[in-house]
Amino acid sequence: MSRLLPKTAEQERETFAQRLNAALAAADIPPSATELQRQFNALSPQQPVTVHAARKWLIGESIPTQQRLQNLSTWLKVSPNWLRFGDDSEDIGGKAMSVDEQLLLRSFRRLPVRERQKLLELVQTMARGRGER
């Protein structure tokens, strides 16, 4: 029987950085410490961060405080639990969605209705071509 080993602190910081960078990409925000610091501070002036702190988040050297994590997740439209731990309550048929599936869904939801319909038709056509429905 295999056991899941707890992540090391370094692994937790690295996977947090991966999720933060993915969420920034999904929101069309450049993965720049300067840009992250500027936009974060504009939205959350009571909890300002330095460029150095933002850089550490992006490269996996540190994880923000709980309040800053909450502000980041609200701004990036992701759940705080997903951003911090990679967990999310969203699932499909009892299976947790992968990061790619979550980002696809978030991006899809940002599209206008007409573009959503076109994308859905394209995906369904592609799936039928593979013998799936």
DSSP calls for 8-74: PHHHHHHHHHHHHHHHHHHTT----HHHHHHHHHHH-TTS---HHHHHHHHHTS----HHHHHHHHH
pLDDT above 70 covers a percentage of the chain that reads 84
- Categorize the per-residue pLDDT at 118 as very low, low, confident or very high, splitting at 50, 70 and 90: very high
Task: Tally Cβ neighbours within 10 Å of residue 50.
Answer: 11
Residue 58, exposed/middle/buried by CB under 10 A (0-12, 13-18, 19+)? middle
Rg over CA atoms, the chain: 17
CA distance 87 to 73: 13
Domain coordinates in residue numbering, the chain: 1-88, 96-133
CA distance 130 to 50: 49
Q: Looking at this protein, which amino acid is placed at residue 107?
A: S
Average pLDDT, the chain: 84
Fold entry, domain 1-88:
434 Repressor (Amino-terminal Domain) (1.10.260)
CA distance 90 to 79: 10
**Mean per-residue pLDDT for 106-114?**
85
- Categorize the per-residue pLDDT at 116 as very low, low, confident or very high, splitting at 50, 70 and 90: confident
Q: How many CA atoms lie within 13 A of 6 on its CB side?
A: 2
CA distance 107 to 29: 13
